[in-house]
Amino acid sequence: MDIPRLKAIARELRVDVIRMLAEAGSGHPGGSLSAADIVTVLFFHKMRHRPAEPDWPDRDRFVLSKGHCVPILYAALAKTGYFPSEELLTLRKLNSRLQGHPDRVRFPYVEAATGSLGQGLSLALGMALALRLDKRPSRVYCMISDGESESGQVWEAALAAPKFKTDNLTVFLDYNKVQLSGHVKNIMDLDPLPEKWRAFRWHVLEIDGHDMAAIGDALREAEATTGRPTVIVAHTVKGKGVSFMEDKWEWHGKAPNREEAERAVQELLAHPV
Amino acid sequence: MAKASRLAFGEALARLGGEHPEVVVLDADLSKSTMTDLFARKYPERFFDLGIAEGNMVGVAAGMALAGKVPFCCSFACFVAGRFEQIRMSVGYNRANVRIVGTHAGIGIGEDGYSQMATEDIACMRSIPNMAVVQPADAVETERAVEYLVRHRGPVFLRLTRQKLEDVNPPDYRFEFGRGVILKEGGDVTLLATGGVVWEALKAAEALAARGFAARVVNIHTIKPLDEDVILDSLRRTRGIVTVEDHGIHGGMGSAVAEAAAQAGAGFVRRIGVRDFAESGDPAGLYRKYGLSAEHIVAEAEKLLR
């Protein structure tokens, strides 16, 4: 695991996110930045995928259930070579493939349309079951948010996956503690969150979601776990890497203006990796 | 022989499972009622009971479809089509190749009452882009429709009944997706019906014949895409159309027909459907009370014939 390389990539992806959102004039920086390190480890270290053969049947799948954070996914897909980076700046514009939330028909490099929160884990579970029926080696990774964990469907899926022993399914819970209109603990307190997943019979890991080595270790442990799915509760910081966005609900769904974007980029680039 | 379309569906699925390994079946603790139990017993490794959690079931079915399977996602029509948000997003928007199967549709289920009666499901499902809506009228049509739907590409809502349906089609019936079936020719009025009430429309046509009126009877098994040709042809050849369905009056087959007729600026459409929250009771009594029985169809037709 080349941690300096991964850190450098994560920084570039964060810069891409800021530039995309500033150009679009709208979008969700906070959760895109909190997810950046996990997305980096998945796409540039862990997942088996072929940018030149996007529909390779044996690829690992990544379902971004928190679909509003798709800018970080677009940035990762561009950097791995699925599509030209210049296209990133068309985000949210008329006739662009890069919808505000992922659309797999317009843009087939995402595994599923998401954005109506609470639905992605069910999709990922369905993929895991189908891939296992076909005896494929593929693993399915799903990223959910803390805010969407307030939705009942997440827990329906959480109840179902251990029944079917889908050990090819790994969930990242991007636990950044902040949602659209405030801190999660004030909107709908989820604690104790790891205990809830344990009670649902998942293999539960708890990590610092900005620690590349910890993300890599957790993924190895998930892969080695048989007979049940793994959830990695990743403690993260909303807006991570841009000081004026960190832990601020105001930056859940607001794009930086030109000046703010420039400050954010300077700060990201000044930060040693 | 009279048979419930849910039973014909379950039997067809169990028969087709062998030659179609891509078919998987999902249910929400109702497999003994939806008749997917017949498939489950033959192919347990391809049957998934998701418990009483239909929203998750819809999402799991969509995920399976995105990984190449042909899922039949089954429950009572009100419970599965009631998961509109999951269906529009996870199935519809993804163009996931899922068959949403709703059994026990309409007030014809009888004694269980309104909470188990789907009367808004067609309206919801047909509002989703690319979602086809199919409702067979008898056992043979159900069997042929399921044979077709295994191969169809794209999301479909299949609407089935709890109650037994009389045969309206011949045993050698061929199912043509998107095409209305003219069961009886007549030049005075057209009765367009879908599902179990096609039989009521045929009875109404007989009663009209006794009064000297020739009714054309058309079975609309595919509500979306709608066979606009047979509708416009019926408006040209007869004095008007009466639509009949065991579904709410808003947004169902009758609405679809009225939209097509209005768009073409052609003729009169009178709609028969459920106009309120229904209640417990025997199916025949409910059809009389809520205006779906042959005598109501005759009365509506006579309004056009006056």
Q: What is the mean pLDDT of residues A155-178?
A: 98
Q: Does residue B127 form part of some domain?
A: yes
Among residues B139, B165, B191, the one where a domain terminates is B165
User: Do B234 and B274 belong together in one domain?
Assistant: yes
Instruction: For chain B, list residues with pLDDT below 70.
Output: none
Could you give the angle at which helices B253-264 and B228-237 cross, rounded to 10 degrees? Answer: 70
The CATH architecture of the domain made up of A3-270 is 3-Layer(aba) Sandwich (3.40)
pLDDT for the residue A271? 82
pLDDT, tens digit, 9 for 90 and up, residues A25-66 = 999 999 999 999 999 999 999 999 999 999 999 999 999 999
User: Do B203 and B80 belong together in one domain?
Assistant: no
pLDDT, tens digit, 9 for 90 and up, residues B224-281 = 999 999 999 999 999 999 999 999 999 999 999 999 999 999 899 999 999 999 999 9
User: Do B126 and B201 belong together in one domain?
Assistant: no
Q: Does residue B63 form part of some domain?
A: yes
Q: What is the largest CA-CA distance in chain A?
A: 52
Taking an 8 Å cut-off on Cβ atoms, the answer to whether B90 and A119 are in contact is yes
Q: What is the mean pLDDT of residues A243-264?
A: 97
Question: Domain extents for chain A?
Answer: 3-270
pLDDT, tens digit, 9 for 90 and up, residues B282-292 = 999 999 999 99
Provide the number of structural domains found in chain B. 2
Q: Does residue B175 form part of some domain?
A: no
Give me the residue from A112, A120, A153 closest to B55, CB to CB: A153
Say if residues B160 and B6 touch (Cβ distance below 8 Å): yes
Instruction: Examine the pLDDT at A273 and tell me if it is beyond 80.
Output: no
Q: Does residue B132 form part of some domain?
A: yes
Q: Does residue B72 form part of some domain?
A: yes
User: Do B33 and B151 belong together in one domain?
Assistant: yes
User: Do B124 and B187 belong together in one domain?
Assistant: no
pLDDT for the residue B37? 98
Q: CA-CA distance, B85 to B55, in Å (whole number)?
A: 9
Q: CA-CA distance, B246 to B224, in Å (whole number)?
A: 16
Among residues B120, B141, B165, the one where a domain terminates is B165
ipTM of the complex, rounded to two decimals: 0.97
Tokens of B166: 């009389």
Taking an 8 Å cut-off on Cβ atoms, the answer to whether B60 and A157 are in contact is yes
Domain that holds residue B17: 3-165
Q: Does residue B174 form part of some domain?
A: no
Nearby residues of B129 by Cβ (< 8 Å), 6 or more positions away: B92
Among residues B165, B193, B218, the one where a domain terminates is B165
Q: Which residues of B touch A151 (CB under 8 A)?
A: none
Q: Which residues of B are catalytic?
A: 54
pLDDT for the residue B156? 98
Tokens of A79: 């950097």
Q: Could you tell me the CATH number of the domain that includes residue B266?
A: 3.40.50.920
pLDDT for the residue B27? 98
User: Do B300 and B205 belong together in one domain?
Assistant: yes
Q: Could you tell me the CATH number of the domain that includes residue B101?
A: 3.40.50.970
Q: Which residues of A touch B45 (CB under 8 A)?
A: 133
Sign for the CA dihedral angle at A148, B102, A131, B29 comes to: positive
Nearby residues of A187 by Cβ (< 8 Å), 6 or more positions away: A147, A150, A179, A181
